[in-house]
Chain A
């Protein structure tokens, strides 16, 4: 049976998110393996037609007041309508603030199996196999979905984005029949992050600091400028967060954020199992620690044994030069 794939493409400020291209690339490969087609669904204003070049043959667009900020009731209903219109048997979304709520609801509503936070998807004998981390990434599990429709969310940065294959899409307005009753939870205020940096969960580069930074002042004076020089998002160990050097939202690890960057620089972080749980899939890990026996070195691609207060400023200088 052909695998017809619907990709939920999220937007931010009217722009398609990078994850849309990541998922469409993967969807195109998977559909090609079974002779299926790829369609996309977009909420709100965005350049929907451009998704044709990324492999979507049809793009369903839902617009109107319900599709500005996320409203569970309306968005789940519209996703349901898009699945029905596209005849998709596989739905992909990026693991995000929206899908973590909307996809389970959709799953329960239409009786579709759900596999969240996949880091790989492959076609095997006409079926899709999702691979996802469990036990905070200390193990991986391969999952298959038995229902007629399968829902998957994919952790950002799991697939590389190639060149757009080219093509064009027909854009179809989606009428999900949204009524006031669907506007169940209202957003009354949006609190933007203080910095312009990409969020940790989507960041391609991260510089994290640990307890060894000793104070919020030195965290701000060492970790943040180095992150800026590396064009990276700052992160922190739990010890640094609990000590008040960085906000909760910056915590990386089993009880913080799980990150998947191509470069992760750990400054004075010992590499406790709970910290590793959040960053072990990073493509390149750099560890800077004065203790040569620190567990983080077992996972580091490059290690520097030394005092971070000397090395970080030197590195900041070199990175500024290199990335200017």
Chain B
């Protein structure tokens, strides 16, 4: 079974976000890019599954421009076998559903039997693309998984069900699993890994190569339109309480009750 890993680059989590002058996005001039943190768990799990004999090949799928190849190489250095990068001017401005259409077509074309993705991208924060891929392919799915077992044609996953409850779910492959923190400890690339990655193939595919109608993706097909980006309102200056422990504790409780009215 071939395992596909959906991996994208995002601004490093310590990036200070600045909105561009037209309020249509962020300024990216001094942004440092990293692999989306949740995709690192997906990649790690895929490598471990292959090592355990549950997969024959780990293939990275990235919808992104040439700049994302540095992150793809990092993924190859950690142990993926090859990568497919999806790039076409027609893809620009796709919403989550458009992105899912592109990724689903590529996953299907490569004969993938198990897709591991991140629980969400930490830039768009949508956490929607993998579920859409599962729907488009008619596959089973488990999301926000922190424990995964593959046995023959069946997966068993522990997923966060909300309300603090976790569920153990099972289903048949092919499936899309989204990975949460706690699933594993992602490895770093080693020097031999980095050397080996230089020779691993990254294939670039456009809409025509994927056989998708360019009109079904991209800005024109997007159902969700982002109108304006802004920064969150600044918080009003706070108040520092003075005195010994007993005094500040009593004063804080009084303020929480009488001024802030939250208790």
Contacts and interface: CB of A to CB of B under 8 A. Distances in A.
B87 interface: no
B80 to A, nearest CB: 21
Contact of A145 (B100, B167, B223): B223
Interface string B87-114: 0000000011100100000000000000
Determine chain B's interface SS by DSSP, over half rule: mixed
Contacts, number: 281
Contact of A114 (B158, B162, B224, B250): B224
Q: Which of B165, B166, B248 has the most CB of A within 10 A?
A: B248
B263 A322 contact: yes
A187 B181 contact: no
Contacts of B134: 105
Contact of A254 (B122, B130, B146): B122
B230 A140 contact: yes
B240 interface: yes
B161 A186 contact: no
B61 interface: no
Given A101-B143, A134-B229, A145-B224, A187 B167 contact: yes
A263 B249 CA distance: 15
Q: Which of B124, B129, B162, B238 has the most CB of A within 10 A?
A: B162
Interface of B: 11, 13-17, 19, 26, 37-38, 95-97, 100, 122-132, 134-136, 140-144, 146, 156, 158-172, 180-182, 222-232, 235-236, 238-241, 245-246, 248-250, 252-253, 255-257, 260, 262-263
Given A254-B122, A302-B240, A315-B249, 16 more contacts: A113-B95, A135-B125, A138-B16, A138-B231, A138-B232, A141-B229, A142-B230, A143-B225, A145-B225, A184-B172, A190-B166, A190-B167, A205-B262, A255-B13, A272-B14, A285-B235
Interface of A: 12, 69-70, 72, 76, 96-98, 100-101, 103-105, 107-109, 111-117, 129, 132-147, 184-193, 195, 197-202, 205, 230, 248-249, 251, 254-256, 262-263, 272-274, 277, 280-281, 283-287, 292, 297-306, 310-311, 313-315, 317-319, 321-323
